[in-house]
């Protein structure tokens, strides 16, 4: 199926794990599986053996991508160099797949990225914007850690030149005259002209929709296209052709605001948020998030394999919601009725009613054709087990947790796109709360990243 190849690979690191058939690893199975949905496969942590545990990271986004076209996926890990705790400062890294289960670490500067484009990097997304067959890189910098920039790099690895900055000559840098708090990006050919376009969100501020002009340059068209939302705590964008007209529509996740835009033949976008969300997402009486959507991360996939893309909404301290496409321009909502239980009722020590989906990714982890869900949970002050929701034939989900949960915090920020030219992008954070024991509690709604 569409997701199985790339996203399965992406998920290896999301769970910091590698899948082995049971027969091949009898000595460690079944005592050591981190996640298991069936008797035939499990995901186990192999990050150390793979050589990925070599650098100190205050990690943000991650992406699996075959940088050099050798057929083996490499890894990019974004890092904030101005994390809350200076001890955690680090640099964004690439890990080059050695085709033997191991990766060679290279700093982003080693790969040609200018250090000035690595300030507070929260995510990197790869896409072949110039249609020359190799994945290029867009960095969204800022997030919650400070104002920064967006940067576009052309892949010239085959020429031995690494990544070469295209930020200025492409026009992507047009919005960099004022630093901003960029969060996430997602690529799709929204006007179906054969060239991948990209949307970039800010934590605070407007959204940028860059139209690919097909000559190496982009034009920022969000206002002209009608994508006018001003985010107060914006999160990742995802493309989803919910009405199956061939034009990818746009969902913008956010804590205090979110928006769903219908793409009108690539010419303009109409805000249909009230149609898609005729009533508020489920809230919790007495809990402090009274009216806002509180969507921290969103992912698109066809969860019930009926040919219509669906939308999973991971939320902060609120019940996750799965929107199943009804084929009539709308969605039906599912939560615990489909086994998507994110309640923390049995863990009052967390102080939260529901697990935080600080990030998520989706893919067919267990080769049954139905996409599963991985949640990066906890928060910067609270370690918590990552969660897998095993998709049971598109009818229900079963919850799984890592076996040894209290070691670290995983945040996964993910998006993928429908265009065949782009593969998948996963954004993974892993933080060690032991290194930051004194940081005050973070409530995203009170963080002022400006
Ligand atoms: Ca390229
Ligand atoms: Ca296009
Ligand atoms: Ca559409
Ligand atoms: Ca579906």
State in Å: Cα 3 to ligand 4 middle.
14
In b/e form, how buried is each residue of 63-83, taking b as 16+ CB within 10 angstroms? bbbbbeeeeebbbbbbbbbeb
Average pLDDT estimate for 422-447: 31
Checking if the pLDDT of 444 tops 90, the result is: no
- Output the six-digit token pair for 70: 């050798």
* Ligand nearest to C-alpha 301: 4
> What is the per-residue pLDDT for 41?
83
224-227: long-range contacts, CB 8 A cutoff, minimum separation 24: 224/268, 225/267, 225/268, 225/269, 226/261, 226/268, 226/269, 226/270, 226/271, 227/199, 227/259, 227/261, 227/269
Checking if the pLDDT of 92 tops 50, the result is: yes
Q: Which of 218-227, 287-296, 361-370 is predicted least confidently?
A: 287-296
pLDDT tier at 352, thresholds 50, 70, 90? confident
Q: Which of 265-269, 333-337, 348-352 is predicted least confidently?
A: 348-352
Average pLDDT estimate for 388-394: 95
State in Å: Cα 245 to ligand 3 middle.
5
Average pLDDT estimate for 190-207: 98
- Closest by CA to 120, choosing from 65, 179, 74, is 179
Checking if the pLDDT of 421 tops 50, the result is: no
Tens of pLDDT, residues 113-122: 999 999 889 9
What pTM was estimated for this model as a whole? 0.84
Tens of pLDDT, residues 129-157: 999 999 999 999 999 888 999 999 999 99
Tens of pLDDT, residues 211-242: 999 999 999 999 999 999 999 999 999 999 99
Checking if the pLDDT of 384 tops 60, the result is: yes
> What is the per-residue pLDDT for 351?
81
Which carries the bigger pLDDT value, residue 15 or residue 192?
Answer: 192
Checking if the pLDDT of 424 tops 80, the result is: no
> What is the per-residue pLDDT for 33?
58
State in Å: Cα 211 to ligand 3 middle.
17
> What is the per-residue pLDDT for 231?
97
* Ligand nearest to C-alpha 260: 3
Q: For residues 269 and 226, is the Cβ–Cβ distance under 8 A?
A: yes
> What is the per-residue pLDDT for 85?
56
> What is the per-residue pLDDT for 433?
30
Checking if the pLDDT of 364 tops 50, the result is: yes
Average pLDDT estimate for 40-56: 81
> What is the per-residue pLDDT for 368?
94
> What is the per-residue pLDDT for 297?
95
> What is the per-residue pLDDT for 206?
97
* Ligand nearest to C-alpha 138: 1
State in Å: Cα 67 to ligand 1 middle.
10
State the chain's mean pLDDT as an integer. Answer: 81
State in Å: Cα 416 to ligand 2 middle.
16
* Ligand nearest to C-alpha 187: 2
Give the whole-angstrom CA distance, residue 73 versus residue 10.
9
Give the whole-angstrom CA distance, residue 330 versus residue 361.
23
Average pLDDT estimate for 420-442: 30
Which carries the bigger pLDDT value, residue 415 or residue 251?
Answer: 251
Q: List, edge to edge, every strand of the sheet that includes 208-212.
A: 182-188, 197-202, 208-212, 218-220
Average pLDDT estimate for 429-439: 30
* Ligand nearest to C-alpha 263: 3
* Ligand nearest to C-alpha 196: 2
State in Å: Cα 197 to ligand 2 middle.
5
State in Å: Cα 241 to ligand 2 middle.
15
State in Å: Cα 192 to ligand 1 middle.
18
pLDDT tier at 378, thresholds 50, 70, 90? confident
State in Å: Cα 311 to ligand 3 middle.
14
pLDDT tier at 81, thresholds 50, 70, 90? low
Q: For residues 324 and 337, is the Cβ–Cβ distance under 8 A?
A: no
* Ligand nearest to C-alpha 302: 4
* 3-class DSSP assignment, residue 78: strand
State in Å: Cα 329 to ligand 3 middle.
9
């Amino acid at each position: 199926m569409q997701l199985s190849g790339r996203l399965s690979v992406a998920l290896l690191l999301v769970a910091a794990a590698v899948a082995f058939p049971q027969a091949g690893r009898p000595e460690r199975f079944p005592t050591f599986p981190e996640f298991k949905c069936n008797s035939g496969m499990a995901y186990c942590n192999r990050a150390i053996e793979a050589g990925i545990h070599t650098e100190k990271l205050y990690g943000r986004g991650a992406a699996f991508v075959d940088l050099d076209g050798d057929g083996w996926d490499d890894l990019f890990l974004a890092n904030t160099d101005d994390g809350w705790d200076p001890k955690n400062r680090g640099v964004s890294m690439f890990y080059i797949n050695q085709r033997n289960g191991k990766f060679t670490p290279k700093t982003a500067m080693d790969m040609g990225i200018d250090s000035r484009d690595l300030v507070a990097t929260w995510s990197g997304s790869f896409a072949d914007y110039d249609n020359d067959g190799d994945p290029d890189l867009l960095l969204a910098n800022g997030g919650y850690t400070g104002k920064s920039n967006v940067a576009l790099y052309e892949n010239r690895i085959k020429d031995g030149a690494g990544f070469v900055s295209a930020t200025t000559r492409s026009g992507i840098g047009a919005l960099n005259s004022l630093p901003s708090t960029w969060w996430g990006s997602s690529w799709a050919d929204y006007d179906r002209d054969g060239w991948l376009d990209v949307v970039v969100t800010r934590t605070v501020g407007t959204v940028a929709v860059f139209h690919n002009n097909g000559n190496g340059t982009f034009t920022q068209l969000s206002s002209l296209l009608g994508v006018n939302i001003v985010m107060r705590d914006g999160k990742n964008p995802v493309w989803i052709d919910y009405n199956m007209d061939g034009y990818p529509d746009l969902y913008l996740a956010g804590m205090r605001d979110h928006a769903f835009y219908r793409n009108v033949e690539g010419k303009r976008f109409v805000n249909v948020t009230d149609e898609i969300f005729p009533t508020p997402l489920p809230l919790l009486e007495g809990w402090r998030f009274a009216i806002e959507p509180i969507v921290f991360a969103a992912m698109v996939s066809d969860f019930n394999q009926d040919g219509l893309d669906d939308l999973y909404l991971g939320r902060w301290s609120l019940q996750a919601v799965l929107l199943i496409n009804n084929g009539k321009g709308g969605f039906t909502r599912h939560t615990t009725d489909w086994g998507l239980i994110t309640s923390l009722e049995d863990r009052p020590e967390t102080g939260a009613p529901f697990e935080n989906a600080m990030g998520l990714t989706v893919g067919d982890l267990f080769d049954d054709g139905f996409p599963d869900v991985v949640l990066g949970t906890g928060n910067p002050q609270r370690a918590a087990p990552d969660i897998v929701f095993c998709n049971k034939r598109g009818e229900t989900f079963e919850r799984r947790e890592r076996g040894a949960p209290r070691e670290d915090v995983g945040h996964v920020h993910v998006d993928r796109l429908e265009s065949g030219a782009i593969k998948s992008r996963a954004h993974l954070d892993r933080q060690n709360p032991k290194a930051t024991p004194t940081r005050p509690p973070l409530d995203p709604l009170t963080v002022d990243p400006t």
